[in-house]
Amino acid sequence: MHDTTLLLIEVGALLLIMSLAGRLALRIGMSPIPFYLVIGLAFGEGGIVPLDASAEFLEAGSEIGIILLLALLGLEYTATELFGSLKSTRAAGIVDGVLNAVPGALMALMFGWGPLAAVALAGVTWVSSSGVVATLLRDLGRLSNRETPAILGVLVIEDLAMAFYLPILSALAVGASILQGAIGVAIAVGVVSVILYVALRHGHIVSRLFPADHAEPLLLGVLGLTMLVAGLAAQVSVSSAVGAFLVGIALSGRVAAAASRVLTPLRDLFAATFFVFFGITSDSSALWSMLLPAFLLAAVTIATKVVTGAYAARRAGVGTLGQWRAGFTLAPRGEFSIVIAGIAVASGAAPELASLATAYVLITIISGTFLARVPDAAWFRAIVRRRAARAAATAAG
């Protein structure tokens, strides 16, 4: 059978199965993300029927999915709001790095995997998944919630921190000199600074490039600019998600509203592809040996991420329920964690690190998807109200 024909069959069948899974998720009132991950595991290496012809197509689609998720999130906010959010979440970013990186480093050292694996596993447990968090905010209708700017502030700080972390990790992995690592960091920081400057100071000029009243050139122009900036950012070891997010921030007014409208269907398609592809690239047969350590690490670092989110939201003046929502929403790890583990293993670090990272990410995504809904449950709200009432009575007494 011709490769193109086989690709069409595989992708078509996969989309139909995803549609049925999404419909089931809607019927039982939950996010479709866990279903997409399970579908990916079923059709990946070690699964029931591995997909070969469509692997490259799905990989490209998953990358576009992350870019579109973050670009449309950026369209919801102005440059002024971003700048204010970053200033208010700086302290939370420091807390986030310390609380969430240390458990990963300690586990690697306990296993005797060495300093490179410790640095890598620290990164795996540190960074939340921008793609998963963006999807949760959209699915749960929380884009306009008071805690959402604090969540986005933490995500952006993490992704910007990767501009320092990834070049350093890559330099350590290949045994490069301190000077080479410093050059990589300087280039990455320079690119981020330029993108930030254009987004914050000249966003109105960027918006004028696109016609708000004509869907086709608007779609092509905004999508093209977003992918171009994301690709250039990735080329210098900066998160492509950061580049896409800042393009969204740079657009404003009617152009931003119209771009959001025409890009939404594409985002929905490719974002679903991202989660399926993540499952496909995970070797389900290799996960079992690291399942227990992954569960322990996930339990600890979900708790530390909840502390991070609650701290960031509290500093922004958000109430108790919003603090819990922020913490649980930040729990999932994802694309960065897998990239970091891949760099370390490719350089000769412990091969078990890849299986641990994959199991860990799957656990945090699936559990985080459910935990994000907990603060909206009536029983949880009742507990929070009772505790608030007791605290008020204690203060009055």
- pLDDT, tens digit (0-9, with 9 covering 90-100), for 318-348: 989 999 999 999 999 977 787 788 777 777 7
Distance from C-alpha of 68 to C-alpha of 91, rounded to nearest angstrom:
28
Q: Is 330 helix (H, G, I), strand (E, B) or coil?
A: coil
- Is 68 in contact with 226 (CB distance < 8 Å)? yes
Q: Which of 145, 120, 118 is nearest to 133 (CA)?
A: 145
Which of 3-17, 26-40, 111-125 has the weakest average pLDDT? Answer: 26-40
Q: What is the mean pLDDT of residues 140-155?
A: 88
Half-sphere exposure at residue 176, Cβ-oriented, CA atoms within 13 angstroms: 16
Predicted confidence (pLDDT) per residue in 151-188, tens digit: 988 988 887 777 677 777 777 766 655 566 667 667 76
Spatial CB neighbours of 262, under 8 Å, sequence gap ≥ 6? 215, 218, 219, 222
Residue 239: pLDDT band by 50, 70, 90 thresholds? low
Q: Which of 334, 332, 312, 333 is nearest to 323 (CA)?
A: 312
Domains of the chain as residue ranges with CATH: 3-386 (1.20.1530.20)
Distance from C-alpha of 276 to C-alpha of 40, rounded to nearest angstrom:
4
Rounded to two decimals, the pTM is 0.76
Predicted confidence (pLDDT) per residue in 103-123, tens digit: 999 999 999 988 888 999 999
Q: Which range among 40-49, 247-256, 359-368 has the greatest average pLDDT?
A: 359-368
State the pLDDT at residue 164.
Answer: 73
State the pLDDT at residue 397.
Answer: 60
State the pLDDT at residue 322.
Answer: 93
Spatial CB neighbours of 267, under 8 Å, sequence gap ≥ 6? 65, 68, 69, 72
Q: How far is the CA of 101 from the CAs of 125, 183, 363, in angstroms?
A: 6, 24, 17
Within the chain, what is the greatest distance between any pair of CA atoms? 79
- How many helices and strands, by DSSP H and E, does the chain display? 18, 0
Spatial CB neighbours of 33, under 8 Å, sequence gap ≥ 6? 132, 135, 136, 275, 365, 366, 369
Q: Residue 380's CB: how many other CB atoms inside 10 A? A: 14
State the pLDDT at residue 190.
Answer: 76
Distance from C-alpha of 298 to C-alpha of 295, rounded to nearest angstrom:
5
State the pLDDT at residue 184.
Answer: 65
Q: Is 347 helix (H, G, I), strand (E, B) or coil?
A: coil
- Is 179 in contact with 200 (CB distance < 8 Å)? no
Distance from C-alpha of 120 to C-alpha of 165, rounded to nearest angstrom:
10
pLDDT over 90 at 126, yes or no = yes
Q: Which of 37, 117, 55, 43 is nearest to 368 (CA)?
A: 37
State the pLDDT at residue 325.
Answer: 95
- Is 133 in contact with 312 (CB distance < 8 Å)? no
State the pLDDT at residue 353.
Answer: 86
The more confident residue out of 272 and 191 is 272
Predicted confidence (pLDDT) per residue in 264-291, tens digit: 899 888 888 887 887 777 666 777 888 8
DSSP string, 196-234: HHHHHHSHHHHHTTS-TT-HHHHHHHHHHHHHHHHHHHH
In the numeric block, the tokens 């963006």 are attached to 134
Q: Which of 281, 287, 359, 357 is nearest to 122 (CA)?
A: 357
Residue 46: pLDDT band by 50, 70, 90 thresholds? low
State the pLDDT at residue 326.
Answer: 95
State the pLDDT at residue 180.
Answer: 63
- Is 108 in contact with 353 (CB distance < 8 Å)? yes
- Is 63 in contact with 335 (CB distance < 8 Å)? no
